[in-house]
Structure 1
Amino acid sequence: MLGYHLAKSTNCQESLKVIEADVQHANMLAASIPRNKSGHRLQMKLVHNSLAPLILYLLQWIDCSCTCLLPSYLNLFYIVIYKVNADGRQDASSYGRRATIREFYAIILPYLQRLTELDDGANASNSLELTARKKPDERRKFSDIDFEREDECGICLEPCTKIVLPNCCHSMCINCYRDWNLRSESCPFCRGSIKRVKSGDLWVLTCGSDVVDPKTVTKED
């Protein structure tokens, strides 16, 4: 893993830039993981000992690739892992733990990537579950709307008890029927003749609230 990340680096400075970029990526992954109740999260930084600047200067001065010196060179650098508060400041009670570059690439970075993948999968699963829960509620809501529309007059769109024409079975409220019957002798929906339809021939369309069970009828009687 370590060799793969640094294979494209031709000198020590480029190797350090690659490691720094990977450390920042690890910090982003750690920040995306849900925090505990205290609000703390882990953060990392690349640290070197006092001899590292001198060796870097020597390698630049002799202008050679550090590939052959990479194992011993990287021992001068390590990763410090510490806790930070919700505001990003280091926790005063937290002492940074040290990890080698090899441990960072072999354990820490893959572990953070795996945790992020698991968290994304859990969020996707929760989202699907919420969507599945919403669907019955939405269906129920649409059903209620449909029931309300069934109680509306097809002409004035007012909720009411509707009468039904015996010839074509189209329905409307009694007020709209009377108004229409004065002006026309045909159904307003299909233009079927209602010339011979009398008030006594009309049917009354019951709604759900008008239907009662036999026990209720017995009690009322």
Structure 2
Amino acid sequence: MIDNKDNVSVLQNFCDPSATKKTEDFYNHTDGPRFSTVEKFYYNQHTQQTYDFAISKMKNYEDMNKLVLDPWDALELGGSFVDDSDPDTELDQIFHSFQVAESLRKAFPDEDKYDWLHLTGLIHDLGKILTPAFGEPQWCNVGDTFPVGCMFERVGVFPEYFDHNPDIKQPVYSTKLGIYQQGCGLNNLIMSFGHDEYLYKVLTHEKNTTQITEK
């Protein structure tokens, strides 16, 4: 439980943003110790994230009545698993959250002006509780996000695995525009379901009551 400043300080020191790593060594999907884990993840994601699946998950979580959780407890809950889509780290999610927050605080140290940005970095992945809280498989939670209901773009990570997605054989979904019209805008796209969509739904649903207490 992250219930005092001493515990937070331990995480802050562990997540020192001054640690050095070459830029070209990040986001490596061609080799490395986590290659097989990441590849398996994207095979599962790209073959199972369909238009119908995304719609069903959005409906499943639209009422936001499944769990009431303090943000600090959500951070701790996120610490119970490692993101299989991440080729760069085997650390629990809670460490990633503090790494981002501390890096932002180092880059933008004026807390009076940028405290909102530091906080955003801390909570940006809280939606990943989909796996430890609700038992969702990681392929329906983390990783890259892409439009569904139209032709899959052959870019990004392991795009060849889209060849095994059922939607590629659907007469409408397999066309360039699919169910959409040219220039429809991002607000009208249906994206693969995951933690970003879930956190967005939580925050917009609770926009008048969401508070994070200082401890």
- Compute the TM-score of the two structures, normalised by the length of structure 2: 0.20
Compare the two structures and name the one with the higher strand fraction.
1
- Compute the TM-score of the two structures, normalised by the length of structure 1: 0.19
Between structure 1 and structure 2, the one with the greater Rg is: 1
